[in-house]
C-alpha cells in the first residue's frame, strides 16, 4: 500500500528574472495546474509576475482565468513566435 509523501512537492520555472518567473508551455489549452498555481503564488509572494509563454492559439481554461482574477497583476501572457 502506498503511503502519502509528507514532503511538499515543488516546481521549477523555465526561466527567472528579477521581475518575472517565466513558464513556457506549448499547449492548446492551459489550466491552473499545480505547477501554475504554485509558481503564481510564489510570484505574488516575491512581488514578481508569472509570465506564461504560450502559442497564439492557446486558450486559458476557466480555472486559470479564475486564478488570474484572484491574483490581479501577477499572471501575464506572452505569445510564442
- The answer to whether 63 and 31 are in contact (CB under 8 A) is yes
- Position 9 in a domain: no
pLDDT the model gives residue 60: 98
Tell me if 64 is assigned to some domain.
yes
Interatomic CA distance for residues 79 and 23, integer angstroms: 12
* 73 belongs to a structural domain: yes
The pLDDT of residue 10 = 83
pTM above threshold 0.85:
yes
- Tracing cell 491574483 back to the chain, one arrives at 71
Residue 8 inside a domain? The answer is no
Per-residue pLDDT of the chain (81 residues; tens, 9 = 90+): 566 666 667 889 999 999 999 999 999 999 999 999 999 999 999 999 999 999 999 999 999 999 999 999 999 999 999
What is the per-residue pLDDT for 5? Answer: 64
User: Phi/psi of residue 43, each to 5°?
Assistant: -60, -45
* Domain limits for position 36: 20-79
Q: How many domains does the chain have?
A: 1
Amino acid at each position: 500500500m502506498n503511503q502519502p509523501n509528507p514532503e511538499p512537492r515543488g516546481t521549477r520555472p523555465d526561466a527567472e528574472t528579477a521581475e518575472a518567473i517565466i513558464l513556457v508551455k506549448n499547449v492548446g489549452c492551459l489550466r491552473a495546474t499545480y505547477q501554475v498555481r504554485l509558481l503564481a503564488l510564489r510570484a505574488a509572494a516575491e512581488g514578481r509576475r508569472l509570465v506564461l509563454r504560450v502559442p497564439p492559439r492557446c486558450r486559458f481554461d476557466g480555472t486559470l482565468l479564475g486564478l488570474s482574477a484572484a491574483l490581479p497583476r501577477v499572471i501575464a501572457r506572452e505569445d510564442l513566435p
